Amino acid sequence: MLFPAAVAGSLPKPFWLSETHKLWPLWKAMGRELEIAKRDATLLWIKAQEDAGLDVIGDGEQSRQHFVHGFLEFVDGIDFEHKVEMGIRADRYKAMVPKVVGALKMKGRAHETEARLLRGHTTRRTKFTLPGPMTIIDTIADDFYGDRIKMAMAFADLLNQEALALQADGIDIIQFDEPAFNAYTKEAAGWGIEALHRAIDGLSCKTAVHICYGYGIKANIDWKESLGGEWRQYEDFFPALAKSRIGQVSLECRNSRVPPHLMSLLGDKQVMVGVIDVATDRVETAEDVAATIRLAMDYLPKDNIIPCTNCGLAPLDRDLASAKLQALGAGAKLARERWG
């Protein structure tokens, strides 16, 4: 299908599941009640994505408190009881993070329940997101390895275990979220991609890496304002990604200052073109979305364009996120009618 629409990953959690408008929300229930609430929220967003006309469906990360820590909860060797404050994304903002205190090992499956729920409740293509190795080590303190790259490779091995299992669950696309690539661009082009290759080893399903300028929170908005008239971070590692074994790469496009010609650096990759801005309350129109797709066609073969959100929608109001999903689906449909 031409212009298959998808979301980058997260969607807002309903008020009855957790706190709202937060990246690290507290759950509203415990035990069995929490598991039921997570399941119900996931089913709600599967239906909402289908109703919006999206072609690739995700679980909205409804079962994860945070896109990184939701995976780390299933890893041995991590101390969640004695969190420390740490600057992340090159000290863009501070966060309370757990510590690596021993050799890393999976406790078991991390996301089997969510993946099978997703696969069992849609006939459309499915995508499941995992945090990338570089972003994980930028969101956790190290009291054991003493070497960032060594720790990243250890996490890559664990991610690979889970990714292979997700593929066996029937997931069509496995996406690794690497916002840290834009904070450490030179490292991203080197060991960052090497770690991704380790994470996707043995996969035959489609793979993706999501790289963006972050959620629409104040710290990220302020950082983007400091980047000047053009955001050229992608330029440092897109040529290396073009040569990589990753199948899809994201690019923040809607209302961004990324020079659009940087899309052409990705060669023959499929590109998740961000056509929905997650940092504004303004809802795009179908015409807005189609116009951004048309811009991408100046630099990419139209068969390689995947209309997508710039980033996750987790901090947004639920009704606003729903409206943006509707715009995404309608805009992709309009583009297919015009240029299909």
- Residue 220's pLDDT is 64
CB proximity list for 259: less than 8 A, separation 6 or greater: 230, 231, 232
CB 325 within 8 A of CB 48: yes
- Residue 231's pLDDT is 85
Question: What gap in Å lies between CA 187 and CA 152, rounded to an integer?
Answer: 12
From the list 20, 39, 17, the residue with the least C-alpha distance to 29 is 17
From the list 282, 280, 308, 313, the residue with the least C-alpha distance to 296 is 308
Across the beta sheet with 173-177, the strand order is 56-57, 125-131, 173-177, 206-210, 248-251, 270-276, 305-309
Compute, in degrees rounded to 10, the torsion defined by CA atoms 197, 198, 202, 208.
-40
Residue 186 phi/psi, 5° resolution?
-70, -45
Question: What gap in Å lies between CA 188 and CA 234, rounded to an integer?
Answer: 10
**Identity of the amino acid at 39:** R
- Residue 298's pLDDT is 98
- Residue 217's pLDDT is 65
* pLDDT in 10s for each residue of the chain, 340 residues: 999 999 999 999 999 999 999 888 999 999 999 999 999 999 999 999 999 999 999 999 999 999 998 999 999 999 999 999 998 886 777 888 999 999 999 999 999 999 999 999 999 999 999 999 999 999 999 999 999 999 999 999 999 999 999 999 999 999 999 999 998 999 999 999 999 999 999 999 999 999 987 665 676 667 667 777 888 989 999 999 999 999 999 999 999 899 999 999 999 999 999 999 999 999 999 999 999 999 999 999 999 999 999 999 999 999 999 999 999 999 999 999 999 9
Compute, in degrees rounded to 10, the torsion defined by CA atoms 148, 60, 227, 69.
-30
- Residue 212's pLDDT is 83
- Residue 216's pLDDT is 59
Q: Using alpha carbons only, give the angle 257, 263, 268 rounded to the nearest 5 degrees.
A: 165
Joined tokens for residue 298 = 């100046």
- Residue 219's pLDDT is 67
Hey, is 92 helix, strand or coil?
coil
Joined tokens for residue 4 = 């298959």
SS3 content of the chain, % helix, strand, coil (to 5): 40, 20, 40
- Residue 223's pLDDT is 66
